[in-house]
Amino acid sequence: MPTSSADGTGRPAQYLQVDDLSAGYGGTVIVNGASASVGPGEIVTIVGPNGAGKSTFLKAIVGMIPAISGRVRLGGEDVTNMRANNLAKRGLGYVPQVNDVFDTLSVFDNLAIGGYLLSRPDAAKRTEAVLETFPALKAMLKRTASKLSGGERKMLAIARVLMLEPRLLVLDEPTSNLSADLSRMLLEEHVRRLGKGGTAVLIVEQKALAALTISDWAYVMAAGTMKVSSAAKELLARKDIGEVFLGRSTEPASLPKASGGMD
C-alpha cells in the first residue's frame, strides 16, 4: 500500500520512496545518498547537469545495477536490489534512454514481449488498448523496430511498457533524439495522460523546461545527490533557474523557500 504523505507538501501518498540511495559502477560511487519519492498520479522530474548521476539513480531503482546502500520501497514493500523482472511483476515499468526496444523484433513482437507476464487473452486485450493509445503503431505492426524513426521508436518503447499497466513508470531521457515538436507531443499528450490516469511517473530529462511544464514535483540532482526538492511550478518560476539546473544554486533567490525543501 502507498505510504501516507506526512511532509506537509500536499503531495499524494508516496508509491515509490527512495531513501539515501548510493550506487555506482565497479566500485566508483556515482549516486551518493540520494532520496526521492513519487506518488500515484504524480509526475516527478529529476533534472541536473550531465554526469550528475540521474540515470545511475534510475538504474539502481529499477534493478539494472545494484544499490550500494540506501532503501527503495515500492507500495510500502522494500524492493532494494530486487531483480528487474520481479520489479516488473510489482508494477514497475522502465523505459531506458537507449536500447529501449527489441531492435531485431517486429513492433508486434515488441508489444507481445511487453505483455510477457500476461495470459494470451489478456495480452491480446492489452495490445488493443495500447494501440488505441498509440494509433500510429497500428500501421507498422510488422515493421522491424530498428527501422522505426526516433519518435516511432520512443512511442513503441512506452507502448511496450504500458502492456503491463505499470503503477510506476520510469522514463530515462524520453525525449533525447526527438525533435522539439515530438518531445512536446510525447510529454504533453502521452506522459501527462498517464499521470492523470493514476500512474506514478518518474522522469529524468535533459530538456528540463519541457518536462517541468508537465510535472508536479521536481528534484535537482548534482554530484550524486538531490540539491533541490520543489514543486515543479515553483522551480520554473525561479529567476536563477539556469544556476539551479546546474546544481549551483539551492536556495530560492526570488521566491519563498520551496515548499518541502529537501526530503
Q: What is the dihedral of CA 56, 59, 61, 62, to 10 degrees?
A: 170
Q: Which is nearer to another protein, 9 or 97 (CB)?
A: 97
Q: Would you state the cell numbers that stand for residue 1, as one nine-digit string? A: 500500500
Residues that bind another protein (CB under 8 A): 62-64, 83-85, 87-89, 93-94, 96, 99-105, 109, 112-114, 116-117, 144, 146, 160, 164
Q: Please identify, using beta-carbon distances, which residue of 64 and 236 lies nearer to another protein.
A: 64
Shortest Cβ 160–another protein spacing (Å): 7
Cβ-based neighbour number of residue 161 at 10 Å:
21
- 170/87 Cα distance (integer angstroms): 12
Phi and psi at residue 84, to the nearest 5°: -60, -35
DSSP string of 161-230, one letter each residue = HHTT--SEEEEESTTTTS-HHHHHIIIIIIIHHHHHTT-EEEEE-SSHHHHHHT-SEEEEEETTEEEEEE
Nearest CB to another protein, comparing residues 30 and 101: 101
As measured in angstroms, the least distance from the Cβ of 197 to another protein is: 21
| Closest to another protein by CB, 104 or 254 | 104
Q: How far is CA 261 from CA 4, 109, 151, 223, in A?
A: 18, 45, 36, 18
**What gap in Å lies between CA 189 and CA 74, rounded to an integer?**
26
Cβ distance to another protein smaller for residue 64 or 246: 64
Phi, then psi, of 196 in degrees rounded to 5: -65, -30
What minimum distance in Å lies between the beta carbon of 173 and another protein? 15
CA distance 140 to 240: 45
Residue closer to another protein, measured from CB, 108 or 134: 108
Min separation Cβ 66 and another protein, Å? 12
Nearer to another protein, 89 or 239 (CB): 89
Which strands form 67-74's sheet, in the order they lie side by side? Answer: 28-38, 16-25, 67-74, 77-78
Task: Give me the least distance between CB of 250 and another protein, in Å please.
Answer: 33
Helices 150-162/120-133 angle, 10° precision: 140
